[in-house]
Amino acid sequence: MKIPLNIWLFLLMKKSYKKEIMKGKILVTGGTGYIGSHTVVELQNSGYEVLIIDNLSNSGADIVDNIEKITGIRPEFEKLDCLDYEGLERFFQKHEDIKAIIHFAASKAVGESVEKPLLYYRNNLVSLINLLELMPKYHIEGIVFSSSCTVYGQPDQLPVTEQAPIKKAESPYGNTKQINEEIIQDTVKSGAPIKSILLRYFNPIGAHPSAHIGELPIGVPQNLVPYITQTAMGIREKLSVFGDDYNTPDGSAIRDFINVVDLAKAHVVSIDRMLSNKQKEQVEVFNIGTGKGLSVLELITAFEKATGVKLNYEITNRRAGDIEQVWADPEYANKELGWKAETSIEDTLRSAWNWQKKLREKGIQ
Ligand code: UD1
């Protein structure tokens, strides 16, 4: 019997899909959050099987549906708090063949961390400690940790490399990132049979081009881009630009705005590297940024140009705790991870705007 070409193709695709899925099982903590959900999508796209745990404190279980809409694959999801040691242990007993963890689950509002330091220290530190304690017992090879350029404070030299000194943290949130990096370093140094990759993100922005997932701030946004899109939508009256008297060309602060899908892909290549034993050291650190600094005012102009929407904004005082300027030297990540930020700022801002419009359509914001 002659098999039609389309059936051949289908069988071939099914086979290669099966082969791809054998890449391994990855646990993503905080996988329904902003960066977590984009990372789940990219992991699935590159053939990993993904399990998500999330306590849903800052996201909804419907994100799992939205991930499935994008990839056609439903990640397994369990509502679980990383503070719950026994719950985690039960989870690992159920899913014994997890190869690695990407740990996003953490509290991340800088201002809130100043008001509730103990909440931040308990949540962010104990969650990681629980995972690190359980990993060897369940033969989990490594952990990719979601760190931040906040560990550099205001660097003396720009662009900032991974060798730049760690500065005293400005907030309990920032301090939890620093301490967590040290906890991982010390644990590995003590001989624990695990590897780690610390990814220091610069300023993640934008949304998935499908507009099925994106950033969903609760209440008044603290970060710049959600505030911009909400102002453009008319939810906020005007954007405050915090300071135009910095020592920068236009006086506003400068950041390295990195597309969230590009950032998500950095996690996939980190997992590839870890699981194929390509790490040069048991703990590696990478800057994940574009290498280009953009001022707040330049970002506003780029948004207006990309979307055709005029933004209502005013210059106000500096925000306490803000640094003047920071952008990454991403060379080490480019070379070692074979990863590079690719998406233009215009496409990124358009994706953020499309996401905001989608939220409006759904009646969410
Ligand atoms: C902050 C944290 C960083 C964290 C990141 C993600 C610090 C120093 N940095 O980055 O560790 O990973 O959030 O949550 O705590 N801006 C305005 N108007 C606004 C909002 C922001 O002008 O309404 C300005 C800020 O002053 C800043 C820039 O936009 O200069 C970016 O701010 P934001 O998006 O909040 O990120 P960071 O403060 O850089």
Tens digit of each residue's pLDDT (9 = 90 or more) over 38-93:
999 999 999 999 999 999 999 999 999 999 999 999 999 999 999 999 999 999 99
DSSP 247-264: SSTTSS-EE-EEEHHHHH
Residue nearest to atom 36 of ligand 1 (CA): 223
Residue 165 CB contacts under 8 Å (≥ 6 apart), including other chains: 152, 156
Residue nearest to atom 19 of ligand 1 (CA): 224
Backbone phi and psi for residue 154, each to the nearest 5 degrees, phi listed first: -85, 105
- pLDDT at res. 14: 54
Environment class of residue 245 by beta-carbon count within 10 Å: exposed (0-12), middle (13-18) or buried (19+)?
exposed
Q: If pLDDT is split at 50, 70 and 90, which confidence band does 1 have? A: low
**Dihedral, CA of residue 254, residue 260, residue 262 and residue 268, to nearest 10:** 130
How is residue 103 written in tokens?
Answer: 């740990």
Q: Which helix (H) or strand (E) holds 315?
A: strand 313-316
198, β-bridge pairs: 145, 285
Residue whose tokens read 């699981």: 275
Are 256 and 326 in contact by the 8 Å Cβ rule? The answer is: yes
Give the mean pLDDT of the chain: 95
Higher pLDDT, 8 or 80: 80
Q: If pLDDT is split at 50, 70 and 90, which confidence band does 22 have? A: low
257, β-bridge pairs: 203
Q: How many degrees, rounded to 5, is the angle at CA 45 between CA 44 and CA 46?
A: 90
Rounded to the nearest angstrom, the gap between the alpha carbon of residue 63 and the centroid of all alpha carbons in its chain is 15
Catalytic residue annotation: 173
Q: How many degrees, rounded to 5, is the angle at CA 175 between CA 341 and CA 127?
A: 85
Higher pLDDT, 7 or 145: 145
- pLDDT at res. 19: 46
Taking the CA atoms of the chain, what radius of gyration do you get in angstroms?
21
- pLDDT at res. 165: 97
Measure CA of the first residue to CA of the last residue in the chain; give whole Å.
Answer: 57
pTM, rounded to two decimals: 0.94
- pLDDT at res. 96: 85
Are 365 and 215 in contact by the 8 Å Cβ rule? The answer is: no
Q: Is the per-residue pLDDT at 21 higher than 60?
A: no
β-strand 254-255 against 294-295: which pairing, if any? antiparallel
pLDDT digits (tens, 9 = 90+) for 199-212: 999 999 999 999 99
Three-state SS for 288? Answer: strand
Q: What's the average model confidence in pLDDT over 317-329? A: 95
Q: If pLDDT is split at 50, 70 and 90, which confidence band does 13 have? A: low
Q: What's the average model confidence in pLDDT over 111-125? A: 96
Contact residues of ligand 1, CB 6 A cut-off: 108, 110, 148, 150, 170-171, 174, 203, 222-224, 227, 239-242, 253, 255, 296, 319, 321-323
pLDDT digits (tens, 9 = 90+) for 170-224: 899 999 999 999 999 999 999 999 999 999 999 999 999 999 999 999 899 999 9
Residue nearest to atom 12 of ligand 1 (CA): 148
**Dihedral, CA of residue 97, residue 132, residue 76 and residue 19, to nearest 10:** -40
Q: What's the average model confidence in pLDDT over 230-252? A: 98
Q: What's the average model confidence in pLDDT over 154-164? A: 97
Q: How many degrees, rounded to 5, is the angle at CA 133 between CA 128 and CA 137?
A: 135
d(CA 65, CA 90): 25
Ligand 1 probe mutation, 287, 303, 319, most atoms within 8 A of CB: 319
